[in-house]
Amino acid sequence: MSTFAQRMIELRQEKGYKKAEVARGTKLSRSAITMYENETRDNPTLPILKQIASFYDVSLDYLTGNSNIKDKEISNTTLTDIFSNLNDNNKIELVKYAKYLLGEQVNGERI
């Protein structure tokens, strides 16, 4: 099962929604929701992915399996935007801190 399908099911169950509720909230058909969950409909368009992510209030990266971080405010794009808006001294400090955090990680967990 694809990560997208798994995430669709997981998010719906987490929220306690029925497929019909997801369909109404995303403005998709109930059958489309079922087909995405069952992987009988592939490759949702970006606008559809955005509708679904917005409905569940998660990031596109999470919905598509590119990240395990649900918070839509924490994404690669957001971090890139923040970094590009920092002055040079703060960019250096941010990179130092990021390297420090990486050094503290063991098997993906901060110690």
Residue 25 confidence class, pLDDT cut points 50, 70, 90? very high
Given a cut of 60, whether residue 20 has pLDDT beyond it is: yes
Mean pLDDT of 76-83: 83
Query: Between these two residues, 67 and 17, which has the higher pLDDT value?
Result: 17
Cut 0.75: pTM above it: no
How far apart CA 45 and CA 40 sit, in angstroms, is 15
Token code pair at residue 78: 């957001």
Q: Helix, strand or coil for residue 84? A: helix
pLDDT of residue 38: 94
Count CB neighbours of 109 within 10 A.
Answer: 7
